[in-house]
Structure 1
Amino acid sequence: MRKHNEVGFYKLSKYNSMVKSGMLTVSLILFLSMISCGSKQEKKVIADENPVRPNIVFILADDLGIHDLSVTGSNYYETPNIDRIAKEGTVFTQGYAASQVCSPSRASIMTGQSTARHGVTDWIGAASGSDRKGNNKIMPASYNHKLDANAITLPEAFKENGYTTFFAGKWHLGDTPSTPENNGYDINVGGWEVGSPKGGYFSPWVNPKLPNKEAGENLSMRLAKETNQFIEKQDGTPFFAMLSFYAVHGPIQTSEEAWSKYREKAEEQGIADTGFEMERILPIRTKQDNPVYAGLVEQMDKAVGVVLNRLEELGIADNTIIVFTSDNGGVASGDAFSTSNLPLRGGKGYQWEGGIREPYFIKVPYVKAAPKEIDYPVTGADLYPTLLDLAGLPQKPNQSKDGVSLKPLFTGEKINERSLFWHYPHYGNQGGEPSSMIRKGNYKLIYYWESSKSELYNLSSDPSEQNDIARANVELTAQLQEELLNYLDEVGANKPIANPKYDAAKAKKLYQDRKNRLLPRLEAERKNMLSKDYEPNATWWDSKVTKD
């Protein structure tokens, strides 16, 4: 695997300079006071005993990689609106998803628990155990296909405290009765059991919770408009609104205009002869030059802008906390092979940093001296207690057992070092291997269920995870592995079992077929997408469909 790419880390001065020198740490910016300035409500600081209850807008992207934003280092994708959240808020430079795939990560956001604890360890709908077909060394563990009915979800916690709750977009946390409506949301627009945009990103789509209105309408923009309509009706009532985009999940689609813009941009930057290389199991993308994916990212960014602008127009932006993050790494292998996460290794489905590192932004507008960057490692499970704390609401310690409130970091305080855990005892469609991970300090250990062996990386000196130091650090490896396995036992995590029918020779042949056939095909498809006469179909995935 190569170690470098034209894609850098955060374009935020201190962090960017430290990454160039191989370091990930960054000093917290301390501040002296917190000032609130709600425009239509009484001004208070969040440290008051009875603060004005802020609104929450939680924006969750699907499959967006750590470097898929211009503010996080891309020189190809253009995301001025999402960048705005980062620049006006606080960037957690070591932000993680709770899993390398979607449903588990989303369940952790909703429950404040790790995937090993809540049991939704794979994307809902994936086969497990003996039901999974294929020549694998192990049979993937079973997993929960819905949220625990007894869980007090994040929107339920807000609803208990007088908030109106709203959900728009991708749910993928189970079918009836595990629906948004049964998990704390007063209103659900577009959320059902399906995890991808069935029917595509332009109307007519297939979604029983989102009727088609205008031919050719963009899905991301529609979800943003629905969110605005909800916000406009609140009239002073505090609200919790989750805008959960289907973008940028495959199938990747965009308009001809956006494709043309980014095809020309790729040409101006210089189209490389190759854009893929082999990882352990599948080819992986090494270049950000996919003009269709770039257009899809831009469509989502414009939709974010529509919501941000409406908050300003309504005069409530100064009393609205905004969260932006993603549910797993960018798709570099499998699915649409859309983007590159380099210099981080891997992507969606993978056990390396590219599979779990995310944009992780929180804007608390009435805290004027909030740090611009925080390097404390955080996960999606932390958002549950953090948002309750920032809103001045009671915590749910018996529910959010794995998350911690990050509010002290906004006040210049410190949080004790802790261990973070991931549990994915499954085979990813993208080439990831059944594994569990622990991060403690600068060290990250990956335990592989196929071999019962571990890799160890020092992320401060090796963020690209190229140098496995397990053999050189036997004692540390043993300690971290023991802590990880003890934690999994403690929470009752499901585990895989060996597959007696595994054929090693067959697996080797499959790898060679992927290298000799799939890799050249992907390169040809990449070049075709960048050619001047590229046309997916006559209507450009229905973006050209005219109104009746």
Structure 2
Amino acid sequence: MATLAQYYTIILKKIMRSCTKLAILAPLLFVTVCSKPPQKKNVLFILIDDFGYNDMSFRNSSFYETPNIDQLAKESTVFNEGYANSRVCSPSRASIMTGKFTARHGITDWIGAPTGKEWRKKGRFSKLLPPKYIKNLPIENITLAEALKQSGYSTFFAGKWHLGEEGSWPEDHGFDINIAGFGAGSPPGGYFSPFNNPKLKDNIEGENLSMRLAEETAKFIKKNKEKPFFAFLSFYAVHGPIQTTQNKWQKYREKAKENGIRNSGYAMGHFLPIRQVQDNPIYGGLVENMDDAVGHILSSLEEMGLDKNTLVVFTSDNGGVASGDNYSTSNLPLRGGKGYQFEGGIKEPYFIKAPWIKNTIKETNIPVTGADLYPTILDLVDAKLMPEQHIDGLSLKSVIQGDSLEERSLIWHYPHYGNQGGEPSSIIRKGKWKMIHYYEDKRNELYNLEQDQAEKNDISLENKALTKSMLNELFNYLDNVGAKYPVKDSSYDQNLEQNYLNKIATEKLRHLEIERLKILEPNFKPNNDWWGSQITKD
């Protein structure tokens, strides 16, 4: 016959196997058995490409419809002063992966952009030649994915990578699984299958790329839901070539008509025209297609019972494309867009949802960047921080809990011209002050962003001491990290450049206005048959 002690041991083992929480009272014995051991938190990182600060209906856009993103914003801490670390994609993505500002990790332009004398082939007749930059994510970095792997996470990547050629793909930087991520910066086959992507198999002809990436991410999560996972969903959307279904084009054409179609939609910038109105029905449909896919992955989390235990990060890699590329959107009242040194080029949607933290604040105006996401994610899931790696980033956990953050300087370095019309320059922001240093003529601009988000009033001359102090701090940082700078082009001809700019301000501007109205005509058809697919979820 079993002794009393043996009897209680048998009962305890049965209770532990059944994972039932009970209190057992016996002579001289009181034991509490918990249902399950503490679970590690999961991470879902959603990165949108070229998605502007005002490309969401929750930001009071009267044109775009983003109900799923809007709902995520309601459930998150919204960082109103959230920034990408660059005005173009590859540098920003490298900063997310490394926790470093761009001048430090060395990827300062989109990978593939020409440098030095090769820049002359662009036919821009510029004063400067842009410097060389690193073209593969440096292997010596411990990426965010590698840091989470060291903490026991299964890691997954889907979508746009653009951080180097083969040998520097997601699987080379800590991701167990890579779907669709390789060297390209835009979807090579567009947004409908066949995708022409070496890392993504085609299923059904006409399948929508954004939804496919969300579905692949959901499949990974379902297979790995019993252990902690890090899923990085990096949409190619809403990068060009912009495409959508015929139904969504029709929907947004009607919205543009209801809002009132303007005769003019552009204004001339320094090098290129800049879009001034949100009325592109193709882009509107592409945004909604992407929002549908965001809704799919978020609802999948909920259906699997993982929404309460999964950290969700949502952001973009640079501003909306208002100039160059597809001239897709307007970022007004923010100035400029992708490729520009102004707020429209670097200010981003930036949400963090940590459902297990009680009483999180709904929004904050503390300036933050993509480099902060590395330490923030580690901190929120109780993983070990790596301050020697994410050296320019700070954990925002305390901010989410309602505390302040010590004022610091944020640095951007873009010594290139790019495709969208921005000027080679570096930026420092400290508190409400933003200073821009231009490399063509060494001038500086100073803005008070609390009073002038549109950056209309340069107050550097009225604040010479502050401007000089911020300039010194900027270059102390840049020089200390070995930043590279542009050099004068000995072949520069002012007359050639002026002729080029005159042509842009007349012929190019006129062509853009014609094309803008053309896609709003009732009989518009795209040059190819990409909208012939009706299998996407309208």
Same fold (TM over 0.5): yes
User: Which letter does structure 2 place at the counterpart of 1:105?
Assistant: S
Alignment partners' CA distance in 2, 1:372 and 1:108: 25
1:346 corresponding residue in structure 2: 336
User: Which letter does structure 2 place at the counterpart of 1:88?
Assistant: E
Aligned mate of 1:410, from 400, 403, 416: 400
Count of aligned pairs between the two proteins: 500
Aligned mate of 1:151, from 126, 134, 141: 141
Alpha carbons 2:192, 2:530 under 8 Å: kept: no
1:57 corresponding residue in structure 2: 44
Alignment partners' CA distance in 1, 2:477 and 2:382: 31
**In the alignment, is residue 174 of structure 1 matched against residue 164 of structure 2?**
yes
Aligned mate of 1:464, from 454, 466, 472: 454
- What runs of 5+ residues in structure 2 fail to find an aligned partner? 1-18, 22-36
1:127-526 map, 5 Å: 127-133=114-120, 134=123, 135-526=125-516
Q: Which moved more, 1:108-117 or 1:226-235?
A: 226-235
Q: Percent of pairs identical after alignment?
A: 58
- What runs of 5+ residues in structure 1 fail to find an aligned partner? 1-39, 43-49
Q: Deviations over 1:292-349 (max 9, x none)?
A: 0000000000000000111010001000010100000000000000000000000000
User: Which letter does structure 1 place at the counterpart of 2:68?
Assistant: N
Q: How far apart are residue 398 of structure 1 and its match?
A: 0.6
The secondary structure found in structure 2 opposite 1:199 is coil
Q: How far apart are residue 537 of structure 1 and its match?
A: 4.1
Q: How far apart are residue 176 of structure 1 and its match?
A: 2.0
Alignment partners' CA distance in 2, 1:268 and 1:110: 42
The secondary structure found in structure 2 opposite 1:132 is helix
Alignment partners' CA distance in 2, 1:72 and 1:408: 25
2:74 corresponding residue in structure 1: 87
Alignment partners' CA distance in 2, 1:509 and 1:130: 21
- Return closer, same or farther for 1:279/1:205 CA change in 2, 3 Å cut-off: same
Alpha carbons 1:215, 1:545 under 8 Å: kept: no
Q: How far apart are residue 539 of structure 1 and its match?
A: 2.5
1:66 corresponding residue in structure 2: 53
The secondary structure found in structure 2 opposite 1:472 is helix
1:122 corresponding residue in structure 2: 109
The secondary structure found in structure 1 opposite 2:518 is helix
Alignment partners' CA distance in 1, 2:183 and 2:91: 14
2:91 corresponding residue in structure 1: 104
Alignment partners' CA distance in 2, 1:230 and 1:260: 34
Q: How far apart are residue 512 of structure 1 and its match?
A: 1.1
User: Which letter does structure 1 place at the counterpart of 2:336?
Assistant: G
Q: Deviations over 1:394-419 (max 9, x none)?
A: 10111001000000112222210000
Alignment partners' CA distance in 2, 1:541 and 1:111: 38
User: Which letter does structure 2 place at the counterpart of 1:243?
Assistant: L
Alignment partners' CA distance in 2, 1:529 and 1:457: 37
Q: Which has the larger radius of gyration?
A: 2
Q: Which runs of 4+ in 1 moved over 3 A?
A: none
2:12 corresponding residue in structure 1: none
**In the alignment, is residue 532 of structure 1 matched against residue 519 of structure 2?**
no
Alignment partners' CA distance in 2, 1:105 and 1:545: 33
User: Which letter does structure 2 place at the counterpart of 1:412?
Assistant: G
Q: How far apart are residue 52 of structure 1 and its match?
A: 3.4
Q: Which moved more, 1:167-176 or 1:362-371?
A: 362-371
Alpha carbons 2:246, 2:532 under 8 Å: kept: no
Alpha carbons 1:136, 1:502 under 8 Å: kept: yes
Alignment partners' CA distance in 2, 1:137 and 1:208: 39
Alignment partners' CA distance in 2, 1:52 and 1:233: 17
Alignment partners' CA distance in 1, 2:486 and 2:429: 22
Alpha carbons 1:41, 1:52 under 8 Å: kept: no
The secondary structure found in structure 2 opposite 1:172 is coil
User: TM-score, normalization: structure 2?
Assistant: 0.91
Q: How far apart are residue 507 of structure 1 and its match?
A: 1.1
Alpha carbons 1:51, 1:392 under 8 Å: kept: no
